[in-house]
Amino acid sequence: MEYIETLGISAKNAAPILADCGTNIKNRALSEIAKRLRESVDGIIAANRLDIENAKKSGMAAAMVDRLTLDVKRIAGIAEGVEQIVSLPDPIGEVIGGGELPSGLRVVQKRVPMGVIGIIFESRPNVTVDAAALCFKAGSAVILRGGSDAINSNKFLVSLMRGALAECGVPEDCIQLVEDTSRDTATAMMRLNRYIDLLIPRGSGRLIRSVIENATVPVIQTGEGNCHVYIDESADIEMAVDIVDNAKTQRPSVCNAIESILVHESIANEFFTKLNERWHGKVAVVGDEKTAENIEVEKLADDNDYATEFLDYRLSSKVVKSVDEAIEHINRFGTGHSECIVTKSLENAQKFQRRVDAAAVYVNASTRFTDGFEFGLGAEIGISTQKLHARGPMGLKALTSYKYLIDGNGQIRE
């Protein structure tokens, strides 16, 4: 597809120039972006209003319209986010290995930019600036392909950012937007491995699966979170209720919120009684028969329910006979994001952490902590649920590669 290829070539040409920019130039450009965001609140809101009007006309649900909406406070938040990225240490150029080889060759393993990063994401226009700023600080050109719902907001924001780059003498094509939001452009982008070094899909499970199915560009899967809390036989029941409540209801729409609980049969009655006292039906429960004996269920759960990321005030539940059954269930239905055991047993805690195959495995704490800021990485581009390259919260370093620089004085191999 010629249109996408043109973007790819422009990005590939901009990338080495950006790679050569020092930290000061990159930070100056990012600060200029933040300044322009603050100065352009009216323009951003006007562009965003077009998207909101279209969304309302097309009958978009109120919660989705809310995610799409930019206001003065949210724009200030986006600008602050960019300023935080300015304050993060620059990962590029860090020496991460090396030494002198027996042949006398001197090797330096140095962190370098990825090159060109593609981001395919859905509605939220704040992602547009977040993702662009993170890729830019990590020294890579970015091609952004947001959803059609936010196209007017995205066009305005990307144009604003490109203006800031130009002002600072950096190629505008370090940040590009795919303005044609047909499905074809997304597919073409997934297959542009000649020009794109890394593709990160951010959004629904359906989007992510489509990318995995179609991409020839290396992909990092992010953000699908079918997360569990297992309440062990020996759990502190009050703590278990606190953690389940926090992990489910503090912000149900995010990927590190839980979708499922597994309850040891010996404490099921006590746990569900206390959970019921806490929630009084605030969260709908989809559970197995033994759950239904202890708490009101919306329906009996099937495998499909156990595999579902509700992202809502809804939870699946199963009563299990042992920590082993819980681990097996999690490894079958989990998405490798964040998993938790509430227990007083050291043996079960260790077994759970060792055997559960996920990016973050918690003992006695809410899964909601899986987050770049909480983990001290600063901003994050997403939470990887795969095992290659990066796992869990991905900060700036996860957007870099490395290369070996080798200096000799004529060494040849014997």
Contact positions vs a second copy (CB under 8 A): 16, 19-20, 99, 101, 103, 105, 107, 114-115, 193, 197-198, 212-213, 216, 218-220, 236, 239, 242-243, 245-247, 250, 331, 349, 353-355, 357-366, 368-370, 374-376, 386-389, 391-392, 401-413
CA distance 211 to 188: 11
Cβ closer to a second copy: 148 or 386?
386
Cβ closer to a second copy: 250 or 273?
250
Q: What's the angle, vertex CA 208, arms to CA 16 and CA 305, rounded to 5? A: 160
Smallest gap from residue 119 Cβ to a second copy (A) = 15
Smallest gap from residue 10 Cβ to a second copy (A) = 15
Cβ closer to a second copy: 69 or 386?
386
CB 259, CB 247: distance < 8 Å: no
Smallest gap from residue 148 Cβ to a second copy (A) = 26
Cβ closer to a second copy: 39 or 404?
404
Based on the number of CB atoms within 10 Å of its own CB, is 200 exposed (0-12), middle (13-18) or buried (19 or more)? buried
**Sequence letter at residue 222:** T
Q: What's the angle, vertex CA 320, arms to CA 259 and CA 289, rounded to 5? A: 80
CA distance 229 to 116: 38
Cβ closer to a second copy: 314 or 397?
397
Smallest gap from residue 72 Cβ to a second copy (A) = 25
Q: What's the angle, vertex CA 134, arms to CA 132 and CA 136, rounded to 5? A: 65
Cβ closer to a second copy: 16 or 281?
16
Based on the number of CB atoms within 10 Å of its own CB, is 217 exposed (0-12), middle (13-18) or buried (19 or more)? buried
Smallest gap from residue 391 Cβ to a second copy (A) = 6
Cβ closer to a second copy: 82 or 257?
257
Smallest gap from residue 53 Cβ to a second copy (A) = 35
Tell me the three state secondary structure of residue 261.
Answer: strand
DSSP 41: H
CA-to-CA separations, 191 to 2, 185, 221, 290, 410, in angstroms, rounded: 12, 10, 16, 48, 41
Cβ closer to a second copy: 21 or 263?
21
- Element of type H or E holding 399: none
Can you point out the beta strands (E) in 116-257?
116-121, 141-145, 175-177, 198-202, 227-231
Can you point out the beta strands (E) in 1-105?
95-100
- Element of type H or E holding 300: strand 299-300
Q: Which sign does the torsion angle of CA 207, 212, 218, 223 carry?
A: positive
Tokens of 133: 């700023």
Cβ closer to a second copy: 43 or 218?
218
Smallest gap from residue 126 Cβ to a second copy (A) = 20
Cβ closer to a second copy: 222 or 246?
246
Residue labelled with tokens 């603050």: 38
DSSP 148: G
Q: How many CB atoms lie within 10 A of CB 265?
A: 13
Smallest gap from residue 300 Cβ to a second copy (A) = 26
CA distance 14 to 174: 6
C-alpha neighbours within 13 Å on the C-beta side of residue 330: 34
Cβ closer to a second copy: 322 or 353?
353
